[in-house]
Amino acid sequence: MSLRLLLPEDGVVDLLTTWPDEPRVYERGSTALDATVSADFLNEYVETGCVPASEIAVVKAPNPSLNRDAFMSNGRTDAARLRKLHDRGFTIRLGNLQRVVPFLARVSHRIQEETAGYSNYVHAFLTPPGSQGLRHHWDQQMAVIVQVAGVKRWQLWRPPVEAPMRDFNESWRVWRDDYIPRWEAAGPDLEIDLKAGQSLLLPRGWVHNPSVVESDEHSVHLTFAIRERTQMWLAEKLLAGAIANEEFRRIILPGELDGVELGRQLTDTRAAVVRYVEGLDLTEVALAVRQAAMTELEYTT
């Protein structure tokens, strides 16, 4: 079971049976994940320049990520430039490792099976001693933070918004300038020094401000982001086949998108949606939804 590479048995049970809404730390110990995707493995991946430039982010708080030109030469990742940036205190994020590392591709696929259809992705973060990459933000899915090497301090605040999703209540969509001053003045609700061999369950919406406090030790961690399915996702699946119905493909004229005529169009469309959904064979839809849950690697909600 791949989740057991990330979490001990009690953590797996917690995740699958209760889906915790508050952070939890678990003693993972050393698993095949640690042996395969070690700090040495990730550093070699960087040193060889094999990392796709499109999957690299280089950031040092409080500034935004650098433009890719900062670590590319001739359209490709320049390993030497990337290493120099890291030596200057920049965090290197290696994105979507499940697309390029066969071992992690298998782990990701099995997690999707074990969660009955939650797609997921894996990022690695390499942070130099005494440095910080990303600042305060929140995510819209459950994350399992697997500390591979060193220690990372996680300052955590309770969610400032309810149930964020990709197109609703994301950090950057609803950000307020007073957030960080207010959070720092109040202090974190939780502060965790996550050590190698430990894993942190970080529910969606929790604000996190991670940094490396130690001045002589690098930090390497993996973030497994697990995308929860929602009723919005089911609603998308219920309507996915409507395109086959000619009624939904009918052109709406420019003059029908304003005033009284727009109201009539909306009323007619709502009625058509209700008729369509009520006419569905939910047994057939359920089969299609199960197939989608187990095979979709990306997500829209």
Domains recognised in the chain with CATH numbers: 3-228 (2.60.120.650), 232-295 (no CATH)
Whether the CB-CB separation of 199 and 147 falls below 8 Å is answered with yes
The confidence score (pLDDT) of residue 167 equals: 84
The confidence score (pLDDT) of residue 283 equals: 97
Instruction: Find all residues with CB under 8 Å of 176, minimum gap 6, and list them.
Output: none
Distance CA 25, CA 17 (A): 17
Distance CA 81, CA 78 (A): 5
The confidence score (pLDDT) of residue 299 equals: 65
Specify the pTM: 0.93
The confidence score (pLDDT) of residue 166 equals: 82
Beta bridge partners of 25: 200
Q: Residue 253: CA atoms inside 13 Å, Cβ hemisphere, count?
A: 5
The confidence score (pLDDT) of residue 298 equals: 76
The confidence score (pLDDT) of residue 120 equals: 96
DSSP designation for 196: T
Query: Which of 37, 118, 57, 49 is CA-nearest to residue 79?
Result: 49
Whether the CB-CB separation of 165 and 32 falls below 8 Å is answered with no
Low-confidence ranges of the chain (pLDDT < 50): none
The confidence score (pLDDT) of residue 301 equals: 52
Q: Helix or strand or coil: residue 191?
A: strand
Tokens for 300, please give them: 């829209």
The confidence score (pLDDT) of residue 33 equals: 97
The confidence score (pLDDT) of residue 214 equals: 87
